[in-house]
Amino acid sequence: MNKKILFNDGWEFAKSSLEADSTTLKFEPIDIPHDWLIYNTLNLYENSIGWYRKKFTCAKEEGKQILLCFDGVYMDSSIYVNKQFVGEWKYGYSSFEYNITDSLVDGENEILVKVVYQNPNSRWYTGAGIYRNVWLKIRDENQHIVTNGIYVTTKQEDDRWLVEIDTELVSYEDSLLTHTITYEGQVFAASKSVVKASNYVTHNVQTIFVKNPLLWSPEEPNLYKLITELYLVKSDKDSKESIEKIEYIAQNIGFRKIILDPQQGLLVNGRKMKLKGVCEHHDLGALGAAFNKTALKRRFKILKEMGVNAIRTAHNMPAPEFMDLADEMGFFVVSEAFDVWEIPKTRYDYSRFFKNWAHIDVRSWVMRDRNHPSLLMWSIGNEIYDTHANERGQELTKMLVDLVRKYDPKENGKVTIASNYMPWENAQKCADIVKVVGYNYGEKYYKRHHEEHHDWVIYGSETGAVVQSRGIYHFPREKSILADDDEQCSALGNSPTSWGAKSAESCILAERDTPFSLGQFIWTGFDYIGEPTPYHTKNSYFGQIDTATFKKDSYYIYQAAWTDYKTKPMVHIIPSYWDFNKGQMIDVGVCSNAPKIELQLNGITIGTHEFDHEHGTQLVAWWKIPYEKGELKAIAYDETGKIIATDVRKSFKDARKIRLHADKESLIANGTDLIFVEITVEDENGNIVENANNRIHVNVTGAGRLIGLDNGDSTDYDQYKGLSRRLFNGQVNGNYRVNIRTRKDLYGSNF
């Protein structure tokens, strides 16, 4: 039977200069996915070549094809099998495969992958290497379903839904193709069709009706399983038929009705919804670009708690598992393809390859992800200068739109573009081609363009861009302060950029009060490595969560606006600790999704505030309080006066003891599962020292191993893969992996 197996084990790696060849290399075992640049924080953009080698045994079978499949290799890769060149792939983000059958021999074989990293090739940290999963696919050369060749569309017809399944397949002999839709193991509907023998790639279209299915939405991401099976039809000498299963493919599908309306905005299953979105780059902090599903799922949970319901994959197509998790956890996805077209932004970026490779990358991108219920839009580019420079931009826009629609003709996702050139005519002509128009920092143009272009669907593809460092406060709040002495940005929201929003609050209000807009994607959810602004440090300051996955104060401002106190009440005090000089005037803010809050200091009420999240303009209540030791407490009340949430800041003394908090107690022994341990310190009374900067040394005993330490501090160049790290405002995060079956109490580790 045709099969696809994970092929991550047994790889070796060597690094060389750009001038070296493979004859003098020293290879060492590594884990795939792998990012070779993350191992040296002092040179995260080193010009170099990565060489990946794998030896394996193979028994060739007549009539079988063997394909080597990569989910992502950054970038400019060449693949050799037994020293024979089998292919190359230029873009670092699209998935690809090569038929290596003719290069294989019975017995031992060797794969060599050469990856060329030339800097600068991007505006942010990309990582380098085979940073996503590798697969080996074995299939019958005459009977198989084409890779990503199943195209599923759903359409509501009264109380039932029509599911159309278009399958692209190779069938040199008569075969039987079946589709079965299940929910939690129960069969809901099925269909089958005989596919007649053909010497060409054929399409088989089947229709299934499903009555009253549970619908998919970010709030209720109900998923059904579509199981596709291909059987070979055989006849014996007595003309008696039998069938042999050739291929089995299972994928999640969802039923949802999406309308993008120029006047009403976004309608999901008949209900108006705002996109409460974030933009995300692909690095995972201390893991670098090396993909890990456990780490991404944990990040998604943090975003979900914030109230996020949509993610824009800035500025490239994501890992396949990203889309799977979005389906399962309930996020709309604006899947973005390119940051450049023909006009470069950096010397060695994708513009070198766009002309010859864009159509190939679009095919890979769209065919792979077009069936996901989480897919909302295909973004063909971000801040593309070609769309502003001349009329060639319109030609390229139309070309890309046509390519996307070639592989997604029923428009499971709408085509869009994210532009910071919307004030100008050429960009507007490009927008008129796509009709679904993303504005980067262009909220002030919404109303005028909405009136001038009645058929445009408008949304904020990139908003916010307020810079902040977790736990850093430059008082007073009303002064815009950048403190060059510490290269940090104030978490009070008084370190704005020249192009972005004045504050998180203004970003929220601008979108809330624009009813025709689909919503917005703030820049960004998490901090990311590279593109530091305004200082030349290691990583960005834009996120609501830092690279170590610790939440900043702005996280809670969005959470207060984007969540419902009736289901998830919350209240948060700014600043995140209570330890200052006696009498120092401190700006204290409180945000909450509740109707009313009260602030107390040492049991005495400082003040109260009532929030109006639907119409009000003050989303954070602020007081100026002279510091005194003790307890600062915020209390949230519902409309009846009942306490529904509290938040407390306590003064503390010097650090005396380490505290560990793991996100779980056991690991799956699959070599990829992770446990995240938050390391903090306590004073003699058990209070967390929330602004501590002690250096923590880590020693792991037993089967587990440390794979990364991060504190979220952009100015800290300690190695992510080191064994010690300073606390940054009281926190550091350790990532641990286990490779054999074990259950380990990390609270017993020696620190």
Give the count of alpha carbons within 13 A of 497, CB side only.
19
Give the count of alpha carbons within 13 A of 520, CB side only.
29
DSSP SS3 for 394: helix
Instruction: Name the phi and psi angles at 742, rounded to 5.
Output: -160, 165
DSSP SS3 for 426: helix
Q: Do 253 and 223 meet the contact criterion of CB atoms below 8 Å apart? A: yes
Helix (H) / strand (E) element for 176: namely strand 175-183
Of 247, 280, 336, 383, which one is the catalytic site residue? 383
List Cβ neighbours of 18 (8 Å cut-off, separation of 6 or more).
47, 48, 49, 116, 118
Beta bridge partners of 545: 526, 551
Q: CA 170, CA 63: separation in Å to the nearest integer?
A: 13
Through-space distance between the first and last CA atoms of the chain, rounded to whole angstroms: 51
DSSP 8-class letter at 237 = T
Instruction: Give the alpha-carbon dihedral of 734, 737, 738, 739, to 10 degrees.
Output: -150
- Strands 436-440 and 457-464 turn out to be parallel
- Residue type for position 569: P
Q: How far is CA 120 from CA 2, 92, 116, 530, 538, in A?
A: 41, 14, 12, 12, 15
> Among this protein's residues, is 383 annotated catalytic?
yes
Of 229, 280, 443, 462, which one is the catalytic site residue? 462
> Among this protein's residues, is 462 annotated catalytic?
yes
| Angle, vertex CA 506, rays to CA 500 and CA 511, nearest 5 | 95
Q: How far is CA 587 from CA 318, 475, 501, 729, in A?
A: 40, 7, 21, 18
Q: CA 495, CA 314: separation in Å to the nearest integer?
A: 23
- Catalytic residue positions, numbered: 383, 462
